[in-house]
Chain A
Amino acid sequence: MTVRTLAVVSAGLSQPSSTRLLADQLAAATRDELVGHGEQVELRPIELREYAHDIVNHLLTGFPAEPLRQVLEQVTGADGLIAVTPIFNASYSGLFKSFFDLVDADAIGGRPVLIGATGGTARHSLALEHALRPMFTYLRAVVLPTAVFAAPEDWSGGTAQGALRSRIDRAAGELAGQVHRAAPARGPADPFALTTDFEQLLRGPDA
């Protein structure tokens, strides 16, 4: 049986971070749903903090250091993606955006993505809709209808209960459903593959 892979990207900066906590809860809930569908699941948690220098270096040099290359392949090769960022100044964090700036425009096309965010106040919650959703739509990913925002009051009591819990479960159900229905991901595209032969290039696009 194929193992379905979920890349779980968290852009939290502190340790432990509430962003990572939300990502983990989304991942666990999605895994449970998929197991319920009879799937085997592999979670690939990715803390962007650990790759912060490599991300900046890639922006400057144009190529990834080996650890970052592997992480990018984990993301572009996964069956589904959970992407969670803290909201800074009314949008995704710079680290989160810089990381996804390194993902090729067609590398996650058609792939289901669950977006989540954390913030100091619930008034930031629409950043999910005006910042994260358009970015993943640009990448032609399938952004799931339920986006999950966690404000400080959602964590009261130490674990996510009540309203947050139900949002997590609904979002996890949507992602698991998409992953379960889709054909397994084919893995990252080969940027060095020749897609046309020379006679065709020589004739030009109108021929």
Chain B
Amino acid sequence: MQFGVFTVGDVTVDPTNGREPTEGERIKAMVTIALKAEEVGLDVFATGEHHNPPFVPSSPTTMLGYIAARTERLLLSTATTLITTNDPVKIAEDYAMLQHLADGRVDLMMGRGNTGPVYPWFGQDIRNGIPLAIENYDLLRRLWREDVVDWKGRFRTPLQSFTSTPRPLDDVPPFVWHGSIRSPEIAEQAAYYGDGFFANHIFWPAEHTRRMVGLYRQRFEHYGHGSADQAIVGLGGQVFMRRNSQDAVREFRPYFDNAPVYGHGPSLEEFTAQTPLTVGSPQEVIDKTLGFRDYVGDYQRQLFLLDHAGLPLKTVLEQLDLLGEEVVPVLRKEFESLRPAHVPLAPTHASLRAAARASADDRASNDDAAVTGAEAGQ
């Protein structure tokens, strides 16, 4: 199983001292968090993509390319890439380029974006969110899989004899996840292509996640990609830890009470009971995270949100230490011991390349067999 962090990239005032980081500080902090994630033994760093304040990551491949150059093992991903307002041609180019520079340590998570005013800035309309996600992604897949593409659709100028360059590394497109909170169409999309499905999970009741993942698994099997329990599932999670549970609650409460998403609403206690948020000791985080498996089944990727609500970088790095030293090693062992042999791990560039070669070899030997058969018939 893969473990990592995902970041929204928000610039938020620290409610305990009124300090707001500059955009530059926040960008550098995101990079520091990514480098730290590798240092403490995590597998994945995923950045959000936004085109409006108070968010900084408008150019994910610039940031991920820089992180790629400064890391060795870390898998670089997104949470999410806006498949609605980005040109799919540019996504194909940018992420193939990143794939080469990062030696294949790249995958992506598609998302729609839920901020209405952003769409028209890019010539689109939020009311077309689902149709845009469907059409753009279908084109993106073709651009990565077909050397020359002729294409015509509803939302973008047609393509004549277009070749997206560079071609994907080893002719293996990056693995794709589709992220959604409660749009059954997106679970259906992920299932149709046999892609991964990532349930945001955080800020929402577990019941949403259970229903969405259940639908995705059922449709994954329907479309013939394997049994329902072999579908590729990722989950978000949100934690704040200190060695003593009470210290965690005391320190996190002002951040919780003023957080952009849920602040000034439910109490910390209500929200931790209703959603995956865990504020407490590393052991409490371990227990709650292991419990996710009870309602989504064996899954492949767990990303944690650590750096939001104005938490200072120093605190976030301490969280990463606890995660890497005390939480993830236990989770790795426990989840692995529970995973049945027929449930796959998350695809990586290496595993996808091996699978592509194996199927090419299969085809070649079938062709040989056909030739031999023809000769025998003579």
A193 at the interface (CB under 8 A from B): yes
How would residues 171 to 206 of chain A score, 1 for a CB under 8 Å from any chain B CB and 0 otherwise? 000000000000000000001111111100110111
Chain B, residue nearest A191 (CB)? B182
Please tell me the number of chain B residues within 8 Å of chain A, measured between CB atoms: 30
27 A-B contacts (beta carbon < 8 Å) = A57-B266, A57-B270, A60-B262, A61-B261, A63-B204, A63-B205, A63-B274, A65-B266, A191-B182, A192-B182, A192-B208, A192-B211, A193-B184, A194-B187, A194-B219, A195-B184, A196-B185, A198-B188, A201-B130, A201-B131, A201-B188, A202-B134, A202-B138, A204-B131, A204-B135, A204-B154, A205-B131
- Closest-CB distance, A47 to chain B (whole angstroms): 20
- Closest-CB distance, B273 to chain A (whole angstroms): 9
Chain B CB within 10 Å — which of A56, A62, A196 has the most?
A: A62
Q: For residue A204, which residues in chain B have a CB less than 8 angstroms away from its CB?
A: 131, 134-135, 154
- Listed from nearest, the 3 A-B pairs whose CB atoms lie closest are A60-B265, A198-B192, A192-B211
Contact A198 B262 (CB under 8 A): no
Tell me the chain B residues, 187-220 only, with Cβ under 8 Å from chain A: 187-189, 191-192, 203-205, 208, 211-212, 215, 219
Provide the bound-state CA to CA distance between A190 and B141, in Å: 31
- Closest-CB distance, B283 to chain A (whole angstroms): 26
- Closest-CB distance, B289 to chain A (whole angstroms): 21
Q: Which of A61, A195, A196 has a CB less than 8 Å from the CB of B203?
A: A61
Contact B182 A201 (CB under 8 A): no
Chain A, residue nearest B153 (CB)? A204
Chain A, residue nearest B271 (CB)? A61
Please tell me the number of chain A residues within 8 Å of chain B, measured between CB atoms: 21
Give the A-B pair count, Cβ closer than 8 A: 61
Q: For residue B184, which residues in chain A have a CB less than 8 angstroms away from its CB?
A: 192-195
How would residues 112 to 146 of chain B score, 1 for a CB under 8 Å from any chain A CB and 0 otherwise? 00000000000000000011001100100000000
Q: A57-B265, A202-B138 are in contact. Are A197 and B270 (CB under 8 A)?
A: no
B264 at the interface (CB under 8 A from A): yes
- Closest-CB distance, B145 to chain A (whole angstroms): 16
- Closest-CB distance, B183 to chain A (whole angstroms): 9
- Closest-CB distance, B62 to chain A (whole angstroms): 32
Contact B203 A201 (CB under 8 A): no
Provide the bound-state CA to CA distance between A196 and B192, in Å: 13
- Closest-CB distance, B153 to chain A (whole angstroms): 8
Q: For residue A63, which residues in chain B have a CB less than 8 angstroms away from its CB?
A: 204-205, 208, 274
Provide the bound-state CA to CA distance between A205 and B188, in Å: 17
Tell me the chain B residues, 143-201 only, with Cβ under 8 Å from chain A: 154, 182, 184-185, 187-189, 191-192
Sample of 19 further A-B pairs with CB below 8 A, known A194-B219, A201-B189? A57-B265, A57-B266, A57-B270, A60-B265, A60-B266, A61-B203, A61-B262, A61-B266, A62-B203, A63-B204, A63-B205, A63-B274, A65-B270, A66-B274, A193-B184, A196-B185, A196-B188, A201-B185, A202-B134
